[in-house]
Amino acid sequence: MNGDIHPLKEYKGNRRLPWKVNTMTSGSITLIEQTGLDQHVAPFPKPHMEGFENPDRLRITLQYLEENNALADILTLKTPRATCDEALIVHSPYLVHSVELMSELGSGQLGESAYASESLLSTTLYALGGALLAADLVLSGSTEHTFALIRPPGHHATSSATMGLCFFNNVAIAARTILQEDNVDRVTILDIDDHFGNGTAEVFYTDPKVQFISIHEYDYVSFGLGHYRETGRNKGEGTNINIPLYEGAPDSSYRAAMTKIVAPAIESFQPDMIAVSAGYDGHYTDPIGDMALDSRTYWFIAHTIRNLVESLGIKGSFWVLEGGYNPLVLGPCVRSTIEGLKGDPLPTLEDQTKHIEDEDVVKKNKRVLNRVWRTVSQFL
C-alpha cells in the first residue's frame, strides 16, 4: 500500500457493486478464484496453526480441479478487489483501519492467531471481493450457485475484533450487502467449518433477517462459545442455531444434523438466498480439525442445499471458503461440493476410505441433536 494511511468513510449502504453482471448465461454454477492474488502469509512455519493457512491451499486445490476436469462445464472468474469501505457494513472503522495500518507496517499481531504481513490488506480485499461477487451473481440471476475459492477465512472475525486467522468476515459482509437490496428480505448462513463461526454469530445475533446455523466441533468438558442454548436475542431470538457435535463426529452425524435440523430450519425460515461458510477442516486428515469426515459428507451437504433451493424457490446459494488446511484433500472436498450442487451422483474419490464410525460418538451426537431440536423447534 502506497502513500499515507487515511481515515475511512462511514459505509452509506445501498451501493451497487461495480462488477455487477447481468447478462451471463454460463449455466448454474460459477467458481470465483483468487490464486496469485493471495500473497499474505503469517510469520509462522508449520506445525504452527498459522502456517497451514497459506497460498498453497488455493493453488493446489485449483490445480486438482483442473487436472480432474471438475471445471469443464463451470464458468471460472477471477476475484475482483473490494474496498475498505465495503467492509464497514459489518466491521468497525477501528478494525478496518487496523488491518490497513498493520499491512503498511508489514508485520504485527492484530488478534489471537491473526498476524499481519505487507500483503495482508491486498489479500483480504481480494478475498472479500470474491465473496461479494459470489453473492451478487446469484442475486442477479446470472447463476444459481457460486463458490468463492478465497483466503484468508473470515468467520471468526467479529464486528470489532480479528482472530483465528480471520480479518474481514467475508460471508457476513456479503450477506449484509445483499440485504440492502429490495428483493432480499432474509438470508440463511450455514457454517460447516469444524470451528464455531463466532464472528458471524456475533454480527447477526439480534438480526431477524439472518438465520445463522453452525455445525461444529464442541468441547463438552470445558464448554465455550457455540452452545446450542445460544439462540439469538431480542428480535433475533430463534435465528441463531448451533449444532455442537462431539469430537470425532462421522459422516452419519452430519447427515442426521442436515436432515433433522438444518433442512427443517431453513424450510421454516424461508430465506431468499442461502450462504454457506464452507470450511473443510472437519476432514479426517485435517491438521487442525478433529472430526471424521471425508468428501462424501460435503457432497451430501451440497446436495441438500441444492434440493432446498429448488423446493423452496430460493434464488440460489453462494459458498465462501473458510477452513480446510490439508491442501491435498481440499480439492476432493471442493469437487464433491460442486458435484452435489450440480445434482450429479456422489463421486468416488481418493480420500474416501473405509473406516469404522465410533459408536459412542454417534450415540452422544444423537443425544445432542435431540437437545438442539427441543431448543430450536419452539422458534420454527
What CATH number is given to the structural domain containing 223?
3.40.800.20
What is this structure's pTM?
0.93
Q: With cut-offs at 50, 70 and 90, classify the pLDDT of residue 14.
A: very low
Taking only the tens place, the pLDDT of each residue in 271-320 is 999 999 999 999 999 999 999 999 999 999 999 999 999 999 999 999 99
Cα 256 from chain centre: 20
Confidence of residue 16 (pLDDT cuts 50, 70, 90): very low
Is the CB of residue 351 less than 8 Å from the CB of residue 329? yes
188-225 residue pLDDT tens: 999 999 999 999 999 999 999 999 999 999 999 989 99
Counts for the chain of helices (H) and strands (E), in that order: 12, 10
- From residue 319, alpha-carbon distances to 68, 102, 191 in Å are 21, 29, 10
Residue pointed to by grid coordinates 476432493: 332
**pLDDT for 1:** 35
Q: What digits encode the pLDDT tens for the residues 39-73? A: 999 887 777 778 899 999 999 999 999 999 999 88
3 in a structural domain: no
pLDDT of 84 reads 97
DSSP labels, 198-223: HHHHHHTTT-TTEEEEEEEE--TTT-
Tell me the longest C-alpha to C-alpha distance in the chain: 60
Q: pLDDT digits over 82-114, tens only?
A: 999 999 999 999 999 999 999 999 999 999 999
Between CA 205 and CA 200 the distance in angstroms is 8
How many structural domains compose the chain? Answer: 1
- Residue 7 predicted with pLDDT over 50: no
333 inside domain: yes
The fraction of the chain above a pLDDT of 70, given in percent, is 93
Assigned domain for 89 exists: yes
- Report helix, strand or coil for 101: helix
Query: Over the stretch 149-167, which tens digit does the pLDDT of each residue have?
Result: 999 999 999 999 999 999 9
Rounded Cα–Cα distance for residues 267 and 113 (Å): 37
Note the pLDDT of residue 17: 44
What is the rounded CA–CA span in Å between residue 178 and residue 122?
23
Give the number of other CB atoms < 10 A from CB of residue 73.
11
Q: Determine, yes or no, domain membership for 248.
A: yes
Residue at 67 is within a domain: yes
- Do the Cβ atoms of 320 and 131 come closer than 8 Å? yes
Measured CA to CA, the distance from residue 133 to residue 198 in angstroms comes to 24
Mark out the alpha helices in the chain (DSSP H runs): 49-52, 56-67, 84-87, 93-105, 120-139, 170-178, 198-203, 251-257, 263-269, 295-312, 327-342, 359-376
Asked which of 13-17, 255-259, 266-270 is least confident by mean pLDDT, the reply is 13-17
From the number of C-beta atoms within 10 Å of its C-beta (0-12, 13-18, 19+), residue 289 rates as buried
What was the pLDDT predicted at 43?
84
How is residue 72 written as a grid cell? 469443464
Burial 46-60 (b: 16+ CB within 10 A, else e): eeeebebbbbebbbb
Strand pairing category for 75-78 and 109-111: unpaired
| Residue range of the domain that includes 181 | 29-379
352 within a domain of the structure (yes/no): yes
Specify the DSSP element, H or E, that contains 32: strand 29-33
Q: Is residue 6 part of a domain?
A: no
Contact 215, 262 (CB under 8 A): yes
Question: What 3-state class would DSSP assign to 214?
Answer: strand
Examine the pLDDT at 10 and tell me if it is beyond 70. no
Give the per-residue pLDDT at 26. Answer: 36
Kind plus residue range of the DSSP H or E element containing 268: helix 263-269
pLDDT at 32 over 70: yes
Dist CA 97 CA 95 (whole Å): 6
Give the per-residue pLDDT at 354. 87
In a domain, 284, yes or no: yes
Amino acid (one-letter) located at 334: V
Active site residue 216: no
Give the end-to-end CA distance of the chain in Å, rounded to a whole number: 48
The one catalytic residue in 91, 155, 156, 303 is 156
**Amino acid 42: pLDDT:** 87
